[in-house]
Each structure stands twice: as C-alpha cells, then as structure tokens.
Amino acid sequence: MKLISHRGNLNGKFLKSENLPEQIDYCISIGFDVEIDIRLIENKFYLGHDEPQYKIDYEWIKKRQDKLWVHCKDLNSLFKLNEYQNDINYFWHQEDDCTLTSKNFIWTYPGKDLDKNSIAVLPELYYNIIDIKKLNCYGICSDFIGEIK
C-alpha cells in the first residue's frame, strides 16, 4: 500500500512545516510519498495550502516527481502542469467525492467509498489506525502517516 504524507505531516497536523520544501524532502528521505499544494502566480510555482508560501520551480517538482502527489490549488497550476510532457502525478478538486489524477488514481475525499485504485485521503477522520491498515485501496494520504506505517 502506498503511504502518502499529507503536506509533509507525519504524526499530526503541524501547520508550521506544511508544504515546507525541507519537510517534503525529509518525508521522501524516510520513504514516504508526499501530497503537496501548489499554485501558479505570475507564471511561478508556489507551495502553500491557503496562500503562496514557498517559491519553487518546475525543476524542483520534476526532480521529486516519483514521490509527489501534486494538488493544484488553482486552475492555472493545473493548466500549466498539463502543458508539460511529464510523469508528474497531479490533480485538482474542490469538494468532489473523488477526482482522477493525471496517473489515473482516484483521489478520494475523506469518508467516501474506496476502490482498489483509490487514495484514501485523511482516513483518520473516519477510522482508527488499526482499521485504516485494513482499507481496500491503493494508498493512504494522512497527517498521521508515520503512525499508520
């Protein structure tokens, strides 16, 4: 099962390090994939959930593409990533039950039905840790991914 750190969180929500490039690299270095939030402003990429916080470039994303799940927080970032011929796994959604990523995984909103190709997002909101490990899905994206592992 694929284990994905939600914004770089490992053992709970820690706003100060969410989407921080160094935290993302740390999570990757200890074996996790990471869901990141990006936005495109004046043709420049930024990491940040509610606002642009950390300027990055396309090469930063490309270098880590095998470990990133890129949540486009605006349509401009989605359109820009779609222009590139790449293997980056990206998606955009708001409050849909699920959305399809560019690599054909089903990014599933918390508490919604899962499939063998689904990523269960924030399952800790609906299940205890023992039950999370039994979910029938491709992967888990959690703020508590360190504990789930």
Model confidence over 69-88: pLDDT tens digits?
A: 999 999 999 999 999 878 99
Domain housing 22: 2-148
What share of the chain has pLDDT > 70, as a percent?
100
Looking at the 3D structure of the chain, how many domains does it have?
A: 1
How does strand 98-100 pair with strand 106-108? antiparallel
Across 117-137, b (16+ Cβ under 10 Å) vs e yields: ebbbbbbbeeeeeeebeebeb
- Answer whether 19's CB lies under 8 Å from 55's CB: no
Model confidence over 105-134: pLDDT tens digits?
A: 999 999 999 999 999 999 999 998 888 888
Model confidence over 24-69: pLDDT tens digits?
A: 999 999 999 999 999 999 999 999 999 999 999 999 999 999 999 9
pLDDT value of position 32: 98
Three-class DSSP labels, 47-90:
ECCCCCCEEECHHHHHHCCCCEEEEECCHHHHHHHHHCCCCCEE
